[in-house]
Chains A and B, each alone.
Chain A
Amino acid sequence: MHKKLLKQLIVPLAALCMLASCAHVKAYQKSRLNDSEMSLSSRKVEKNDLNFQSYREGASGANGGKTGGGCGCN
């Protein structure tokens, strides 16, 4: 299983390397990036969406929501 896990991580690690080689953006150029809907996290109003999805599906995590525990769910 560990070899499979490592193989599964190759694409995300490659994405990480691509993310690291990026244009330098100055603070005054960030007006679009700083828009609240450009945030790299779930909206607060999505919290209960993430909850019911983790209850009704086998997977959870990597989205700012539950990873397991904390409730009588999986």
Chain B
Amino acid sequence: MSLLCVERLSKSYGELRAVEGVSFAVRAGELYGLLGPNGAGKTTTLSMIAGLLRPDAGTVVVDGVAFSADPQRARRIMGVVPQELALYEELSARENLEFWGRLAGLSRRDARQRAGVLLEALALHDRAREPVRTYSGGMRRRVNLGCALVHRPRLLLLDEPTVGIDPQARQNILEFIRGLQREGTAILYTTHYLEEAETLCQRVGILDHGRLLAEGTLEALQERVGGDRVYVLEGAFAGADPGDWPGFESRFRLLQHTDRQWVVAARDRGEPAECLRELLSLPVRVDNVLLKRPSLNEVFLQLTGRELRE
């Protein structure tokens, strides 16, 4: 059964449709990624799920009960990690953790004990008593994450938790999140980093301009592009028009094209060697060919016509 079920969620700000008819579900122990560029509607979606924003339409169901029917129950089940650092910088990491634990309803003793466990797990125990304002960006991010976990939420909403930190700190946080997922926590993870969605999430929803364009496992999304491989051709393609070449469009899909590079996917599961031969026989000069597994970027490219990084 899904711990979180979102159905036709919509939100507009005046003329701007920030989120439009978004539906997806997250099961217990599943790490679901919402991938999209900045301004795609990820934070708005997450804010509606967390009860911070009132949706114009649609429903959020948490553990089988509509959020609106019992908002306090839903809030007890959820832990929310905002994109911004929502911490008291004058207080230490321990004090922050204990405070948010106490607010979540833990007894003083439980909050202290949980704070100790989390400080250890997040490798913050050495400086647990120092004010947060003296911490590095990565440490603050870890405290920000920890504050949402003190009350042991069954559903964790993470809004771009690794924005603005160094690769090492990011790896530490991602590893910690994997551990939570292994322990059975349902996690909704929004990001605009392709690598995070590819390596971390079991299922990914691709969001753009407020609409969920596709969702599924990485394999299922790759399947939409062209199975398990795409061909990256480098050469002189200025003025070339694939429509002029007989049979090309029935065999291949041109995912991306510039004067110097084409990204092409085969429409069927033909032999790579055969596909390569056909591509090299095209009436253009090809200097180099790269065969690779399609990434979520290619999926996004196919769905939107532009790269996620653009």
Binding partners A and B? no
